[in-house]
Structure formats: structure tokens, C-alpha cells
Structure 1
């Protein structure tokens, strides 16, 4: 049940497209304008964020573990006459032999790492002195407040395809509240125009979450000093105990 492969890779952007323009895109642009120079996106996937940033003239490379997602990114880039620099590697061990002005970790990617604190420290090593890291994390409020049924399959996403077929995503989750671990099982299905099942793929994600206070501690331990933080992708919304999504820009301190 490999993540971001097979039908999951194929349908990933289709489901995201149903949500409209990525909420983080403007925030990423603002970070890159304020801190221009070579940048690296961690977990760039099919280029959903990377390619629009390249179109706007930003100098961003991408690293991604899924070969299928990278192939989708290359194809989309060719269609846009772009030539992104892409690496297929594990984000927690990736070593390009150089440093960057900024490292971008959007879309809650940090929380997929087996050890987010160690991953954050590794990302800091990829920064030049004074460079910045952009990252977003979330707290699974719907699961914690039991707004979604634990241990039961529920419909997560659905989309109609241009050729008349349809796609669905069902999810089942479990929580370890003490360890702050959310486990999600995903069931992707592709249906023909007549409703018949054409393909199915299952995958699993392990997501670790932490409080704003814990995040500050992780940043400090990694050698990063927060510059600013916002809640729920709203530049006017400060981070408080009600924040579901936390976005932080932090600077590498020291030499």
C-alpha cells in the first residue's frame, strides 16, 4: 500500500482541483519575494505548487519520493514549457550537496516524517546562513472532536472526470491521542460512465501532530527562529489555541 502511487497519484490533483486554487500559493509567493534566491520545495509531488511558482519566475527546485508523482510533474512542466530541477529522494535524508536561501515545506508534509523534529533539523542543514524555512502543519480537529467516525469508512472526496467517469476517495482513520498520531487508510476508486468499478487502490498515511508550543520547541532545537506565524492561512489571524492550521516562516540562526 505505497503512498502516492498508482491510482492515488493519478487522482491526487483531481481531488485537489475540486478545492480551487491552493490556499498556500500566495503565502509561498510572498515568502519567495521577501527572501529571493534558490529555493527547495520538500514533497513537491506533481508540481501543484512548484509549477505555478516557476511560472511566476521564482527559482525553486523540488524533491519527492514518489517516482509516479515526479513523472506527472515532468509531463505537466513540459506542457507549460518549463524545465524544473527535480530530485527523487527521501526528504529526511536528501543531500543535494548545496544550500538554499529558502526551504518550503507546505501541505503538512513535515507531519508525514517518522520523526518530524529530526526532519526539521535536517531541513535546517539545507539552508544557507540566514536562510528561511516555510512550513505548514495542522491539528486534526475533526477527528479529535469526533466529527468524523473513527474506525469507519466515510466518503472523503468525489469528482467527475471530463470523459464521463467518476472518482471517489473513502477514508478510515484511527487516533492515538497520547502519542498524537493519526493513521489514515485511503481507498481510491475509479468508476466508468456506467458506474462500474474500473480500478481500486488502497494506501495508508501516518500523520503526527503537535501543539503550537511544541512546534516552537522543535524550531528552536533545530536552530530556527520564528519570524512570523499565522493561523488557517489567514494573514490577519494570529496563532492561538483554536488554530487548526499553523503556518510559520523561521530563519536559520547562527553560522
Structure 2
């Protein structure tokens, strides 16, 4: 967006992600304004016409009190009439398995080193949160030479379409609309990935 001339700032709670963003910006000779903050404690020096929360980021805030605080801070950082846009997902539906596991490998072309990810997740219908376990391995000559295990419990909160709409409306947003995936098509009942747009009142 910055490369296209959009007046935009960036926020992340991960210094590593901000460093990657800064590095990529440097390669393009861009000078982004970046902030290391948590959404539930957002405190920026300006207000915005539009705030975009991509990649189901809101769902990484699993505590109900914390997500309410985050929505309040986002609301407060919008100008009157401003828009909040967020992508969200329904992680589980009634009747589906509560656990899943999958594996993916990739080979680095430069040296033939194989990288493998073994992912496992399980969903708790009571808390409506997903828990994850990811094992990353570096393999040389069919031998595992390095591995890391990452566990997040809980990792993400699931939202139905109605729950996502309620989340926005409870924070004070009006004209809350849901769209199918990343389009402007009206959301369908079977859509598990959808985008939510809410507007802060003009007064």
C-alpha cells in the first residue's frame, strides 16, 4: 500500500515481523511508520479513515475480555465514519472431527535440504478455541539434523458469522456487513472464510 502512495502505518506485537517489514521496505526504498503494540493496548498518535486487520489476526486474541478491549481500541482510533475491515474464519462446525493432523515437506533447490512440518490441532467446542502443535524439521540425507516444536494453547478463537457480526456491533460499529472470503460478494451461509466491515458512526 505504501508503494502505491497510500498513507498507512503498520502495527504488530512481534518485533521479528516488524523487522521483516522494515527490511522489505528498505529494499524498495520506502520509509514505513511501524509500531510494536498489542491491539488491546493500542495507543497511536493519530486516527484513521480505515483500519485493516488481515489474516484473521483478531482470532489470535483468544481471551474474551482482551478481544473486547482490542475492538474498543480499534474503534477509538477511527475517525467518525471510519471503517474497520477484518478477515475471520469459522474453524469448526457441529459434527466435524475435533482433531486433525497433516504433514507438508519442501525441498530447497539450492542445496537439496528438506524441510518438513507436521501439524496437529484440536478444537474445544466449550471454549470455542483451537489448540495447535507444530513440529518443524530440517532433513539432510534423510536424517533429521534440527527440529523445533511450537505449541500454542489456545492458539485461535473460532467465530461463526453471527458471532463476528455481534463482536463488531457490541464495540459500537454500525452498518456491519459480511462478504464472502476476500470479495465484495455477499457472504453465503456455508462460507467459513469471510470479511467483516463495520463503520464508526459519524456522531
TM-score by length of 1: 0.69
1:218 aligns with 2:167: yes
Aligned counterpart, 1:62: 10
- Is the partner of 1:220 in helix, strand or coil? helix
What CA distance in whole angstroms lies between the structure 2 residues aligned with 1:215 and 1:142?
15
Residue number among 150, 159, 162 corresponding to 1:203 in the alignment: 150
1:242 aligns with 2:190: yes
TM-score by length of 2: 0.85
Return the offset for 1:143: 10
Divergent runs of 4+, >4 A? 141-144
1:80 aligns with 2:80: no
Aligned counterpart, 1:229: 178
Give the paired residue count. 197
- Is the partner of 2:32 in helix, strand or coil? coil
Equivalent positions of 1:1-255 (< 5 A) are 53-113=1-61, 114-115=63-64, 116-141=67-92, 145-146=96-97, 150=99, 153-155=101-103, 157-163=104-110, 164-192=112-140, 194-205=141-152, 206-226=155-175, 228-236=177-185, 238-255=186-203
Contact 2:42 2:70 in 1 (8 A): no
Q: Deviations over 1:83-102 (max 9, x none)?
A: 11111122221201321111
Contact 1:228 1:250 in 2 (8 A): yes
- Is the partner of 2:116 in helix, strand or coil? strand
What CA distance in whole angstroms lies between the structure 2 residues aligned with 1:186 and 1:88?
25
What CA distance in whole angstroms lies between the structure 1 residues aligned with 2:26 and 2:131?
36
**Structure that is richer in strand per residue:** 2
Return the offset for 1:117: 3.1
Contact 1:64 1:89 in 2 (8 A): yes
Structure 1: 5+ residue runs without aligned partners?
A: 1-52
Contact 1:226 1:248 in 2 (8 A): no
Return the offset for 1:142: 8.3
Closer/same/farther in 2, CA of residues 118 and 204 from structure 1, 3 Å limit: farther
**Structure that is richer in helix per residue:** 1
Return the offset for 1:176: 0.9
Structure 2: 5+ residue runs without aligned partners?
A: none
Contact 2:11 2:34 in 1 (8 A): yes
Aligned CA RMSD, in angstroms, stands at 2.3
What CA distance in whole angstroms lies between the structure 2 residues aligned with 1:198 and 1:87?
36
